[in-house]
Every structure is written in structure tokens, then in C-alpha cells.
Chains A and B, each alone.
Chain A
Amino acid sequence: MIDLVNVKKRFGAVEAVQGVTLHAAPGEILGLLGPNGAGKTTTIRMVTGYLPPTSGSVTVAGYDSVRDSLKLRSQIGYMPESAALHPEMRVVDHLDFCGRIHLMDRRRRRVGLDRVIERCWLQEVRRRRVGQLSKGYRQRVSLACALIHDPPALVLDEPTSGLDPTQIIETRKLVRELSSDRTMILCSHILPEVERTCDRVVLLARGRVRAEGSIPELTGASAGTSVILDLGRGGFSGPATEQWLRDQPEVLSARSIGESDQFLVELASRGGVEARASISRRIIEAGFDLREFRSERPSLEGLFLRALDDGADKEPDS
């Protein structure tokens, strides 16, 4: 349904996206994860037809983003992160305008408008001006705009940003409902959000795909590599301990958890049990008190951090 094949995007000397290939099947929710500057927004903009790729191909429902740009765009509903709306317009007028630029006739617009107002819980504010709404309501209006023409593909950038906990749960439910008959790409920084909503995840860093697969596949691949250490510092400060851990050959990443003496450490998976034995010996030899050493349940967060470190390692020297 949504296919990107070896897509590159260059802005002057900067190559923001460097050969991304991904596929989202009908009925699938694909999570797009990555830190700032990873190339997520540029990738999304190419999927929505806003930016043409420098090379490679982007197709949605069989329409090419360059040759059939208008047809491709008619297949997509796009909800940008910032809820970009016209503040002077009333909610119903805004939704009606979105329907009109998607060439919906008056009858279809009326039906579509009632449908999205109900689905996005906008009944109370339908006559209010967008500029008078809270951030949560603006997010919902933005989602309603993306849904008004009932597109087969949806691209949602941070759909729960600014919503209260009840609305977040409702939005997750709505996203799952919507995915039953359409393809979705969901872009988010909130990892639990992605874990609970998406069928599959693509992790981007520095313009490249660093990991891809279902969440059990991805976290299963890293099983046994995340450990939590509780250390008596033996005169070391917290940051110094963290740095000492990072300097060890078995360690891929290390960071302090809260204000305690606990550290989340990602070990090289190729080291297996030996890596754990080896790091234990080094900790004791260095004079730390090893109070706890336990395997952490594999998480998307750990995977995220490790993928970023991998990306940094593979980055050519400038």
C-alpha cells in the first residue's frame, strides 16, 4: 500500500534521507521512530507528496509521488504534528474546507462531517473558532481534517501530543479501529505509544533505517543484552560511574536511572553470558560494590538507544 524503495533526499550538501526502503501493508500500522534529525519528517513529507525524493520511488496505492502526485495525495490523510489549522475559522467550516479541496460534493461532505465530528469527539465545539480551542481539541480537529475524505492511507505525526490521559486512550482506540480498513504510518517520540499501537516499527537514525520489524521480533533479538546494575560508587560520582561503564569493551550504552545508583546498561549481545561475567569481574576489580545485577526485560527504549549508538558508530568521520 505504502512503498518506499531506496529513497534519498538531499537538501544542498545535506543528505537528510539516505536510501530508505520500507513497506506498509493494507491494514497495518507502521510506527516510524527516531530522534530529532533522524529524517522522519522528511520521510513523511515524501510519503504525503509534499516533497519529491531526490532518487528512489515512493508509491501509495500504486500511485507514484512524482508522476501521479495529485492522485497519490487523494489517497492520503495527513495529520501534521503541530495541528496546523486556520484559527479564524469555525470547526465545521474548517472541516468543510478540507472536504472541498478533496473534491467531495455537498452530500458527501455533510455525511463525512457528521462522521468525523462524532469519531473525533468534536460535538461540543463544532461551532467554535479553532483559535479558541485547547491544544487537545485542535489535535482532534487536525485528525478530523485528515479523516474527512475517508482516505485508504493515513499518516499521523504525534497524534496524541497535547491530549489528556483519557483522550490518549480514546485516540489509541480510534487509531486501532481506523487501521482495520486502511494503512497507517504513525510517527511518534513516545515509545509506549508506539508499542501499544503499532504492528511494526521502523527505526530511523541519521537518515537510515537502523532496525525494522514487529516489536516482539525487535525486542526478542536483543534479549539478554539489557541489564540493570545497582552499584556502590566507591568514591566515584554518578556521571563518572556512567562514563566508566561506557568505556568498558562489553558495554554498548549506559545511563543512570533516576537519582539512585542504578544504571541501565546495554551489553554487546554477541558476548552473551561471557560479556555478563566479564563486566561483573571488571566492576568488582574497579572497586565498586556490585549490589544488584539483573537482566532487564527487552524494551523498545533499549533498542532505540542501541540503534542510535550504532548509527553514531557507523557515521563516517567529518
Chain B
Amino acid sequence: MSRVWAIASREFAAFFRLPVGWVVIALYLTLTGVVFALGVVRPGQPASLRAFFQISVWLLTFVAPAISMRLFSEEIRTGTLEPLMTAPVSDWHVVLGKYFGAVGFLVAMLAPTLIYVVTLAMLSTPDYGPMLAGYLGLLLLGLLYLAIGLVASSLTSNQILAFLGSLFFLLLMRALTTNGAQMVGPPVDTALYALSVDLRLAEFAKGVIDTSNVIFFLTASVWFLVIGVVSLESRRWR
């Protein structure tokens, strides 16, 4: 575990040593801040962060690929992957280390938004249940999106390609499991709806933490991490 921690902490620190990390955080906080100021803090509105969570779900579709794009692509491009893979670390150590580093960055990006909760608490008496569920949903969505982005990053040495590849996959996945499901109708739509992150996030937005939804996000994330390990291992055979 200490090897995973070593890789994760290096990865986490790297986000703050490079401009891209600060730019991502600044853009995310600016956009969610505007939504909070204009859409949440309004007289007569219920004290809820629903608008913030809705915009955050959309922003994560772009932000998660931006976070994950450099995880492997940069190492492949600069050649640093080779010395790392000749150190006594397994492919799982490397994938988990990089993944946890990216998750740490996501948490660091979300943490300042707690100021919105504090602000609401000062202005009114909000219901904390939906807020807690909303943050959990956002974190679980981030875990899944980062795992998908990690796979894309392991496939190419070009960060832009990794970003576009994972963005395209996320948009396609959301389109297929919402509009696509409506178009194809039964019985295929049932399977597509079951894979829909939007429907599952709607539950969290209502303040409902359904274990099956939590397990869905965690299981899907683990599956993509397994694909990431296979992708990394396949580099040894190419």
C-alpha cells in the first residue's frame, strides 16, 4: 500500500505544480460560484443546492477528462513510465496510485464548494440530507468518470487525444442511456436506463441514498480500473 500512496501523493502534488490543475479548479469554482450566486441565493427560493449539483454534473463531464488526461499520456510521452515500471511496483500499484492521486485532486476541487453550504446555513435553515446525498452522488460520479478517463489516458501519449476520447465516451454514454433509450424502446431501453448515471443521480438529488446506486458507481469504477490495468499490462506485449 505504501507504493500506491507514494505514487498517489506524487500525482496529487503534480496537479498543483502544473498550471492545468489551478486552471481546472479556477474554472470549476468560477462557474459553480456564478450558478450559486444567481440560481441558489435568491429571495423566496428553497434553501437547496440542487442547481449547484445539476451544473456540477455537467461540468464533471468536462472536468474529469481534463484531470485524468495526463495520468498516463504524459508519462508515456516523456518516457517516465519506463523507469516507473522497472521499479518494484505492480501494474495495480501504478493504476491505483494514479487514480487515487486524481481522486484526491477532485476532492480538493470540491472542498471549497462547502462554502456554499455554510452560506446557505447562515442565510436560512437548509435540509442537510439532500446536500449530503448530492455530494456523495457527485463524488461517485467523479470516481466513475476519472476511471474512464484513466483508461483513455493509458491508450495514448497525446493528452489532447486522451481528453477528447474520454469526453466523447462520456457524452455518448449519457446520450445512449437517456435519449437513446427513449428512441429504441422496450426491451433494450430497460438495460440502457439501468446504466444511466443521470437517473441514478436524480435519486441522490432527492436526498435518497440507494445502496444499489452506490454499488453501481463503485462497481463500474472498478471495472474501468481493471481495463486500465489490462491496458497498461498490454504495453509490455506490444
Contacts and interface: CB of A to CB of B under 8 A. Distances in A.
B197 to A, nearest CB: 33
B80 A84 contact: yes
B14 A100 contact: no
B79 A101 contact: no
Given A48-B86, A88-B14, A100 B2 contact: yes
A85 interface: yes
Interface residues of A, number: 29
Interface in B81-101: 81-90
Given A70-B90, A76-B86, A88-B18, A103 B80 contact: no
B45 interface: no
Contacts, number: 65
B27 interface: no
Nearest to B5: A100
A150 B236 CA distance: 26
Contact of A52 (B88, B89, B236): B236
Contact of A102 (B81, B88, B236): B88
A98 interface: yes
Contacts of B10: 86, 89, 97
A215 to B, nearest CB: 28
A101 B3 contact: yes
Contact of B17 (A11, A50, A71, A88): A88
A101 B84 contact: yes
A49 B86 contact: yes
A51 B85 CA distance: 10
Contact of A100 (B6, B90, B238): B6
Contact of A50 (B6, B13, B78, B236): B236
Given A88-B17, A97-B6, A101-B3, A80 B90 contact: no
Contacts of A102: 87-88
Interface string A97-124: 1101111000000000000000000000
B150 interface: no
B238 A101 contact: no
A74 B88 contact: yes
B44 to A, nearest CB: 48
A265 interface: no
Given A11-B238, A49-B86, A89 B6 contact: no
A143 to B, nearest CB: 12
A85 B236 CA distance: 20
B7 interface: yes
A102 B93 CA distance: 12
Nearest to B78: A84
A51 B80 CA distance: 15
B82 A80 contact: yes
Contacts of A103: 2-3, 88
B93 to A, nearest CB: 8
Given A51-B236, A52-B236, A98 B87 contact: yes
Contacts of B238: 11
Top 6 nearest A-B pairs (CB, nearest first) are A84-B79, A100-B6, A88-B17, A74-B88, A48-B86, A73-B88
Interface of A: 11, 45, 48-52, 70-71, 73-74, 76, 78, 80, 82, 84-89, 93, 97-98, 100-103, 145
Given A70-B90, A84-B81, 17 more contacts: A45-B82, A50-B85, A52-B237, A70-B88, A73-B86, A73-B87, A84-B79, A86-B78, A86-B80, A89-B10, A89-B14, A101-B87, A102-B87, A102-B88, A103-B3, A103-B88, A145-B83
29 contacts: A45-B82, A48-B86, A50-B86, A51-B236, A52-B237, A70-B88, A74-B88, A76-B86, A78-B83, A80-B83, A84-B78, A84-B79, A84-B83, A85-B78, A86-B14, A88-B14, A88-B17, A88-B18, A97-B6, A97-B10, A100-B2, A100-B3, A101-B6, A101-B7, A101-B84, A102-B88, A103-B2, A103-B3, A103-B88
